[in-house]
Structure 1
Amino acid sequence: MLVLNERTGSVMASRQFRTFQPSEGKNLRDSLEALQPGRVVIVVGLPDFLTFLSPEGEVALVRLGARMLPRVCTGEAWAMAAVTGSPSRRADADLSRGKVIAEAVATREYKRPLRSLFLEMTLERAPRERGCGWHEEAELKDQAEFCRSYEGYGDLCSCGRPLVPARRPRPPPISMAEEIPVAIVTANKPFHLYRLLKNLGEVAGSGETRVLVVVDGPHLETLHLARLFGVEVAVHTPQGLPGENTRTNMNIAFALYSVFSRWPHVDKAILLEDDLLLAPDILRYAILSLNGIMHCLGTDEQEVKEIYEGVLTFRVRPFSHAYAHDRTQAQSQDLAAQDPVNATLETAKARSLGCEKESHVLYIVGCPLSKYCKYSAGTSDWIAPSESYRIEADRVAMKRKTAGDLRTMRIRLTPKSASAEFNLTNFQDISSKRTG
C-alpha cells in the first residue's frame, strides 16, 4: 500500500501486509482508517493475496471503493487507486466518501499461467496543501511538520482533536522501590512504535519511568516520532544485511548496552519489542518479575511459551571477562581498517555485557514465533534453540496460519466466448472454513 500527498505526489506511507499472517487483515483495515481525508491511496494485491485475507481486510477495501475485489479469483493480481474521504468508526461506515480513480485485475483461468497487471492513471494535483487549524500553533509546529510528511497516524494528525503527546494527562503513579527504565527496540516500523508509545503513556507508573527508544539505523520517520513523544533515543549502526537475524540480535544487545550506560545507577531494565500491546499493570508486573533472573516472556500462545524461555540469553548472552577481551581484540583488528567507529562500539558493547555487572532484564516479545527467535544463529557463542524446538515452532506457526481462517478460493472458469473473457462474474466460489 502506498499513500501519496495529493498536492506534491510525495510518498507519505509505504506498507506491506502479508495476508497469510494472523491479524494482517485487521492491520490493513486499521491502516486505512488511520489515513487523513484527501490522500491518494494505491493498493496492489499480488497473486494469491486473497486466499488468506481476513474478512476485515476485504471489507475495508470494499468500503474504500473496490468494486472488482469481490470477483477477483485465486492467482489473480489486483490493484486500485483511490482518494480517501472522511473515515468513520461506525461499523457500516464507508471509508472513502472520496472516489476510486482506477481499478484493475489480471484475470487467469484455473491452472493457467499468471498474467501481468499494468495499471496507468493520471490524477490532477490538489489545488492546495491540506492543513488544519492547529498547524499554526507555535507549540505544535513540529507535530504539524510530521503530519505533512507522513501518513497513517490517525488521531495524531487529526484536524478535529489531535493527540498531543505533551498534553496527555499523567497516568497514575505506582510505588517503586527502585528505578527500572524501559528500552524499546525498533527499526523501520514507526506505526508499531506509535501504537506502543501511546499505549505506554496510559500505563500506571509510566510517568515516572525513563524510556529509551533504540533504533536500528537512522530512520528519520521513527526519530521524528520519538521526538514528538519526548523520549530519549539511541541509534544503532546496523550490523549485517537487512533481513539477517544477526542484525536484530545485535540491536537488542546494543539496547542493553545503551540503557545501562545511559543510566549507570540502575541494574534492571524492561526490554520491549515495538509491536506490543501492553496490559495496564505491566510495570507492576515487571517489578515483581525482575527477581534476579534474566528471562524472556512471550505474549502469544501458551503452548509455545516454554520454547522461547531461552531467547534472551540466546540473543544477548553476557560475555565473560576473558572472552570479551579476546573476542573484541580480534574483531576490532578486523573491523578497524574498514569501520573504526563500529570497531570501537563493539569493544564497548562486549565489555558492558560482561559478568562484572549483575543486570536483570525482563524481555517481552510480541510474537515468540518470530523468525528471529527461531532461526537466528547469532554468533557461535550464543545459545540456539534445539532442532526439536524449531520443528515444534514451525508446526505451531502453521497451525496459527491456518486454523479457523477463511480460505477464499474462487476459480476462474474458461470463457465460452470472446465477450465472456471480460466477464468478472465467470467464476466458481469454493471457499471454505477449516480447522488446523
Structure 2
Amino acid sequence: MGIEGGSGLRWGGVRHEFEQSKTAAPTSGHISLDLFLSAHGVTLHVNGDQVYRSVNKTVQWGNHNKRYHAGLHLAALHQTTGQVLTAAAFTTWQVTGDTAFIHALHHIQDGRLIIILGVPDFTTHLGVNATAALMMLGAQYAQTLAYRDIWCLAVHKGSRVVAETVITYLPGQRTPLTDLDVSPLILHLAVPSVPEPWCSWYGRADLQERSKFCRRYDGYGDFCRCGQLPWSPPPPLPSRLKQEVIPVALVTGGRLPQVLRQVNQLRSGSVGATTPLTIFVDGDSDEAAALANLLQVNVTFNTKNPAPRGADSRITCHIKFVLTNVFRLYPGTDKAIILEDDLELSPDFLSYFHQTAKLLTSDPRLLCVNAYNYNAYPHTAVDPTRLYRVNGLPAYGWMVQRKVAQEMLDNWPRLDQEADWDLWIRARVLKGREILIPEVPRTKHVGGGGVHVTGLEQAVHHGRRSLNNLPNVTLDISGAEFGRYLKTHLSNIRSGHVVRLSDHPCKVLPLPTTQVNQSFVVYLYQPDETNNSSWAYYVVARCLGLNDHNYHENLKMMFTSSFYGNQLYVIGCPTSPFCLTSDERDVYRASKEDVQFADNHPFRRIVIKRHVALRVPATSVSELVSLENLVDYTISQTMALTIGPHPIPAGPNKEVLLSSARHQIRRYGEQGCLSTRHPTPPLELFGDNMQQTG
C-alpha cells in the first residue's frame, strides 16, 4: 500500500482538534475527565491531556456570523483506557444536523464511554428522534433542555449514566464572562475504568487485524459490532474482463466510516471488484492507514496542503493534489473517477462511467462525465437511460481524461485567489465544452449542516434529488452524441407546445402533471446566467420545482429535463441559439412582484416543526430542581432556499410567525397553563438561523 506522511483530520467541514495518540493510560483504575463548555466552545482533557477542542469556530454566513462550535459534540472513549476512538461535532442549530448525530451515535459500539457536550444553541433543531435517542442512553434532562442551556452527558453506551449536568439560561441575567447570558460549565469526573468485553470473533485468525482496528477506533457500526460476526465488504479481485481500467480516487478529509461504505458499494458489482481504489486523505491519519490495510486499497496522504484548516481554499488545494497524483499512481490509465466521501452511490455507479468512457474519449467537446445532476428531482428525473450535455461543472463523482486533468492543473487557481475549484474550472477551463450528466443521478449527497452545504440546502435540494436504484441500466449513448443530440432537441423544441405564462406560474401550474407524450417549451427573457440581467429563470424554476439555486445545468441557456414524463425546455432569450420564437408574446419577463411571489410560494418547500423551550424564573424549588421552569410551544415554518432580491422564509414572514407564537402563549395563559411571566421568543428562533441567502 502506498503511504505518505502528514497531520490532521477534519470533521464535517469544520476543524475540530482531535488527538488520539496523547491519552495516557489511567494509573488509578479511573479515567480522569476535565471538561470546559461555554458559549464560545468546548475542550476535553482525558488523564491530563487535551484530546478534543472546538473553540471560536465562527465563520461568515451571508450577512451574519455563524458559530460552528455550537451544537452537539460527541466523543467515544475506550472504557478501559480513556483513549479517544472517534469524535465529531454536529451543527444541531441547522436543519438535518440532528439526523447526522443520531447516525453517528448508532454506529458507536456498546460499552464505550460516550461524552456528549451541548454548546448553545444546540437545541434549535434537536428533534424528537434525537431527544428519544438521548433518553435511550439514559439522559434525564433530554426533554427539559431549553434555549441557550449548556449541557453535558457522560454515559457508558448500553449501560449506566456516569454524569449529567446542565447550566441553565435565564433571559436578562447577564454574566461578566459571556455576551450570551449563560455561565460556562467546568466539570471534573473520575470515571472507573471498565473492562472491555471480549467479542467472540476476536480470536479468529483471519480477523486479528480487524479486532485490533475495532478496539482502537469506533464509529463503524456493523463492521466492528461485537454481538455478531462483523460485516465485511467484498475483497478485490484480479481483472479478467476485457475492459478499460479506470481507477477511483476516494477523496476524504476524515469521514472514514463513509469511505468504508463507499468501498462496499463500489465492490458490490463485477466491475467494482476489479477496479483500483485509492483513498486520498487530506492530512495524515493512522486510522486511514489501518482501514486501507483492512480493505486492501491504496492510501495516499496530502501532508503538505498549503491552505489552513477551515479555509475555503483547503478543499481546492486537496483536489489539486488528487488530480496530480491519481494519474501518477496509475501511469497506464487514460481516465480516473474523482469521488468525494459525502456521497451515496447507485448500484450501477461504475457501469455508468464505463459505458460513457468511449464517448468521452472520442468527443473533444466533452470536458468530463458527471454522475450527478443538479436538476434531478422526483418529477424531473424519470428515465435512467437518458443523458444530457450541459455547460456545467465537475461535481459529486466525475470522470476525467488524463490530458484534460492536466489542462485543469495548468489553469488551477492560486492559493491567494481563494476560489472554489469547481466554479473556477467552469469559468476558466470549460471554454464552451460540455459535461455529460445523467437524467437520474448515480450519486446522492448525504450529510449537510456543514460550512459548504447547509442543513437547509440539504433538506430542500440535495436530500430530495433522485438516485438511481436499478443495477443494470443500458445508457442511450448514441442519443448523447453531439450531432444526434442537437438534432433531437431542436426537433423537440420546434414541434413542442409553447407555454405562455399568462398567470404567475406559482399560482397556476402551466404544465400537465401526467404524461401526455409531448414536449413543452417555456421561453423567457434571460440573456445570461446572472440575476442582474433578469430574474425570469429563477421565477420559472422556483415555481416548476427545477433547480432555482444556480444555473449549472444548461446548454447555451437551454435547460431541459423530464417534467412528469414529458420533456420540458426552458430557454433563455434572446441570446440562446435554441430561442426559436420571434413572437415577443411567447417570452416571459419577470417583474419585481413576480420574484417576491415566487420567493414565498415555491414548488419545493419543507415544513419545519420545532419544539422550542424557553427557561423562565421558577415558582418553586421543586420546579427549579426538576428543570420544569419552561415555556413550551411549537414553531411551524414553511421554508425554502431563497436567492431573490428580498429573501424571506417561504410562507408567512417572521412577524406573522412571532405574532402567532405570542398568541399561543397568551391563549394558554388564559387557560391557566402558562402565565404572563413567560418571555417573548427571540426573533432568531423564527428563521434567521435557518435561512440561506445567496
Aligned to 2:186: 118
- Give the RMSD, CA atoms, in angstroms: 4.2
Structure 1 segment 134-173 matched on structure 2, within 5 A:
134-163=201-230, 165=232, 168=234
Bigger helix fraction: 1
Q: 1:135 to 1:420 in 2, by over 3 A?
A: closer
Aligned to 2:314: 247
Q: 1:361 to 1:196 in 2, by over 3 A?
A: farther
For residue 105 of structure 1, the aligned residue among 166, 182, 187 is 166
Structure 1 segment 3-402 matched on structure 2, within 5 A:
3-85=76-158, 98-110=159-171, 112=173, 113-126=181-194, 128-163=195-230, 165=232, 168=234, 177-236=243-302, 237-290=304-357, 291-292=359-360, 293=366, 294-298=368-372, 302=376, 309-311=392-394, 324=410, 366=445, 392=549
- Per-residue Cα deviation, 1:207-260 (whole angstroms, up to 9, x for no partner): 121111111111111221121111111222322101122221121122222222
- Partners of 1:410 and 1:159 in 2: CA distance: 39
- Per-residue Cα deviation, 1:152-174 (whole angstroms, up to 9, x for no partner): 111111223333647x4789x99
Identity of aligned residues (%): 27
CA contact (8 A) 2:344 2:446 kept: no
Q: 1:418 to 1:131 in 2, by over 3 A?
A: closer
What SS does the corresponding residue of 1:431 show, helix, strand or coil?
strand
Q: CA deviation at 1:387?
A: 8.8
Q: CA deviation at 1:319?
A: 5.6
Q: CA deviation at 1:136?
A: 2.6
For the pair shown, which has the larger CA radius of gyration, 1 or 2? 2
- Per-residue Cα deviation, 1:263-301 (whole angstroms, up to 9, x for no partner): 222212221111111111111222234432315454666
CA contact (8 A) 1:273 1:364 kept: no
TM-score, normalising length: structure 2: 0.48
Instruction: Give the paired residue count.
Output: 377
What SS does the corresponding residue of 1:428 show, helix, strand or coil?
strand
Bigger strand fraction: 2
- Partners of 1:387 and 1:117 in 2: CA distance: 48
* More deviation, 362-371/186-195: 362-371
For residue 421 of structure 1, the aligned residue among 619, 624, 630 is 624
- Partners of 2:207 and 2:213 in 1: CA distance: 10
CA contact (8 A) 2:249 2:277 kept: yes
- Per-residue Cα deviation, 1:110-158 (whole angstroms, up to 9, x for no partner): 45422322333322112x3332232233332221111111111111112
- Partners of 1:204 and 1:62 in 2: CA distance: 44
What SS does the corresponding residue of 1:277 show, helix, strand or coil?
strand
- Partners of 1:147 and 1:28 in 2: CA distance: 20
Aligned to 2:25: none
- Partners of 1:40 and 1:175 in 2: CA distance: 48
Q: 1:21 to 1:198 in 2, by over 3 A?
A: farther
What SS does the corresponding residue of 2:261 show, helix, strand or coil?
helix
What SS does the corresponding residue of 2:154 show, helix, strand or coil?
strand
| Stretches of structure 2 lacking an aligned partner (at least 5 in a row) | 1-73, 174-180, 361-365, 382-388, 416-428, 455-528, 533-537, 539-547, 551-597, 640-694
- Per-residue Cα deviation, 1:377-436 (whole angstroms, up to 9, x for no partner): xxxxxxxx97989x946x99xx9xx93233231111222355543341121111222211
CA contact (8 A) 2:248 2:275 kept: yes
- Partners of 1:257 and 1:40 in 2: CA distance: 41
- Partners of 2:108 and 2:453 in 1: CA distance: 33
TM-score, normalising length: structure 1: 0.73
- Partners of 2:372 and 2:172 in 1: CA distance: 41
Q: CA deviation at 1:307?
A: 11
Q: 1:410 to 1:38 in 2, by over 3 A?
A: same
- Partners of 2:269 and 2:374 in 1: CA distance: 20
CA contact (8 A) 2:152 2:164 kept: yes
Q: 1:197 to 1:48 in 2, by over 3 A?
A: same
Q: 1:309 to 1:12 in 2, by over 3 A?
A: same
| Stretches of structure 1 lacking an aligned partner (at least 5 in a row) | 86-97, 332-353, 375-384
- Partners of 2:135 and 2:321 in 1: CA distance: 44
What SS does the corresponding residue of 1:27 show, helix, strand or coil?
helix
Q: 1:51 to 1:186 in 2, by over 3 A?
A: same
- Partners of 2:222 and 2:271 in 1: CA distance: 24
